[in-house]
Structure 1
Amino acid sequence: MTLGPRALKTGISVTLALYICYFFGLEPAVFAAIAAVFSMQPSIYRTWRQMLDQLMTNTFGAIIALLAVKFLDQTPLTIGVVLIFVILISLKLKMEGNIISLTIVTVLAIMTAPGNEDWLYALNRFTIMMIGIFTAFLINALLFPPKFKQIYYQKVQEAFQTLSLLLRTAISDELTEKTFKENWAMLIKSREKLEEQYKIFDEEREKMAKINPLNVREIVVFKQMLKTIKQGEAVLEVIDEHYFQSKTNDEENQLFDQFLEHLIKCHEYYLLKYEGKVKIEDSDTISINEEELKLFFEKLLNNYKEDPDNKMRIISVGVSVFEYAFQLQRFNKLLDSYLKKTIL
């Protein structure tokens, strides 16, 4: 069990928010702590964007709550109706779930305290909430800034390790059904996390380029890393759906098994090349050339011509494998271009 930077920053931002409230005599300080927890995001840009969104939604939430306290009874029914109204407006503004939750906390903080219907009371509660939000942004920006490249590549490696196991055993069908399903679920989960991380990464490049400059060529390489993982997953899906219904023979099994093994080795080699663990001048020793692809498809087509009725599905598998090889070729070219520019 490890303590991640985000958990550590959340704890520090809560502590700082509480101290600020105590210093200025703002009560109850617990609302600042709640706001700090809700506002901590995985990137600086998302924390900044959320701070602006929170400022807007908390402002109208506080105003609506104060008007409700002034002109309506403070009954549970009234509070519920006001909350529904605030949620509808937040959804109309396309706010995220945690922003809506924090706005609800602001409304409840104002409406559930009897005898405090003036503007100063509402301003007090609003200020406390904003202290928590701003503290979270400040801590996220200054303390342990997110290391996007390291996090992203770590997730690439996690996804590849699972993909490698599944593709290497897909044709031979060596894994038990339970193990196969567990690893496939792990691959899907890893790929989804990778897509989310790339989205964060791309947002940071686009919105925070001046504060946190990122290498555009490297981002293109990262995008291609994601494409190769997704295409590898697509190969697994096609094999599962079509391959074992194609009445394959030993020759075809060996053809696919060996070619997929070669592609996985290339995939692994390209990742090692990105890490700088292999010599760039020796990169041609493990690669995907056009002759190999041509020979692979020729063998498939010859088998199809001999038995077209039973070999239609296997062509679909071959096309998917070919696309995986193509994405790996593109990954290698983009990687070579990036590494040459980096060395120069």
Structure 2
Amino acid sequence: ESIGNATSQRNHTVVTEFVLLGLSHSRQVQLAFFVLFLLSYVAIVLGNLLIIVTIKADSCLTSAMYFLLCNLSFIDLCYASVTSPRMLSDLLSQRNTISFNGCMAQLFLLHFVGAAEMFLLTVMAYDRYIAICKPLHYMSIMSKPTCCRLVAACWVGGFVHSIVQTILTIHLPFCGPNKIDNYFCDVPPVIRLACTNIYVTELLMISNSGLISLACFLVLLVSYTVILVTIRSAKGRRKAFSTCTSHLTVVTMLFGTLSFMYLRPSSSYALDRDMVVSVFYTMVIPMLNPLIYSLRNAEVKDALRIVIRRKINKT
């Protein structure tokens, strides 16, 4: 029996680090990616910080919509920062390893911030419903304390979702191989390395992600359906659609890519295709959000001009 235990222990060597295979093995391609993603990350940081500073600096942008938009920019900034600095560093390195604890921490933060953003976008849909369908009660319903509680609930919901995903992952036995087919640690590529049957774990993870996605989607669907049903005139519907276009664009991109990544079994993953999707939801969407919201909102554009003009006059 002792010999059997010793053999079992040898066959289940604990993995202490993972190797991130990254986006490419070609040095020239890696350097090209480094320049591209460095510029993208700088655009994400500057774009989202500009929105935050603009909303904080302009006394006219005090409604719940702009408070939620400010929080969305902060979440996008955090979301991109979970993966981008590490990716940029690895693109200049020869051996891209990450410790087991570091991998689990990155996985936890990615799902923590990502789920918080999903919940926040749902709250923003509710905000648009109140603004369009109950404009006379908007200020009393979407008061500052209420908004703060809603944002706090988004973060708590993100934490609960992420802790479930992380616990399910961290309890799996990892005994090799330890090469992750991605440039960051995420649930699908990591659990494929477990040296056990992951069917039940995968089912629990998909159910967890599916319930959250379904709940958020239903709230979004009900909000926009009620908006369109409530507004009778064609002119009113066009105006409502114009107001919500930015939000709908972001929701479609984010929910589409996340559903593609997390609501299917790991056996159906294809490296090249899924790498493109990963880049899209970790880099492209956080970079597009400031452009979408600033270019589609006249008040934000006016406030941006005022802030930039002030900075120019000071210099």
TM-score (norm 1): 0.27
Please tell me whether Structure 1 or Structure 2 has the larger radius of gyration of its CA atoms: 1
Which one has more relative contact order, counting CA pairs under 8 Å at least 6 apart? 2
